[in-house]
């Protein structure tokens, strides 16, 4: 079973997004992003397809618009490069991404997981 996610970058007032089919959980894609793709330049390469070679890409104007697009999809995680760091959010409920979805620091959550 696949853990699907989307990865985006906030740049020039838009969010560029790419779909990712496998290992979308925090200890998979999240760990890869903070380990190997941790700069704006590299984040742009991720959404251009250099991380996963996926073809499904799109662009939205706001985070709220992105969350709306995620509703009724099977994406379990979303990752966003914003203000110099990777953030992530998890789906709440059955295929729902509310507008007040909480974004958390990927690196901080991974550090918490390692301490357990």
pLDDT in tens, 42-82: 999 999 999 998 889 999 999 999 999 998 888 999 999 99
Domains in the chain: boundaries:
5-115
| pLDDT band at residue 93 using 50, 70 and 90 as cut-offs | low
Single pTM value for the model: 0.92
Q: What is the mean pLDDT of residues 21-36?
A: 95
Looking at residue 49, its pLDDT comes to 94
Strands (E) located in the chain: 5-11, 14-20, 57-60, 77-82, 85-90, 104-105
Dihedral sign from CA coordinates of 75, 79, 82, 87: positive
């Amino acid at each position: 079973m696949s853990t699907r996610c989307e990865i985006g970058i906030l740049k020039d007032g838009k969010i560029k997004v790419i779909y990712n089919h496998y290992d979308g959980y925090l200890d998979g894609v999240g760990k890869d992003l903070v380990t190997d793709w941790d700069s704006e330049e590299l984040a742009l390469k991720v959404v251009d397809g250099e991380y996963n070679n996926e073809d499904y890409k799109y662009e939205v104007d706001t985070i709220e618009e992105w969350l709306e697009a995620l509703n009724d999809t099977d994406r379990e995680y979303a990752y966003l490069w914003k203000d110099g760091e990777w953030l992530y959010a998890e789906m709440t409920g059955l295929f729902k991404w509310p507008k007040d979805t909480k974004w958390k620091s990927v690196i901080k959550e991974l550090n918490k997981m390692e301490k357990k």
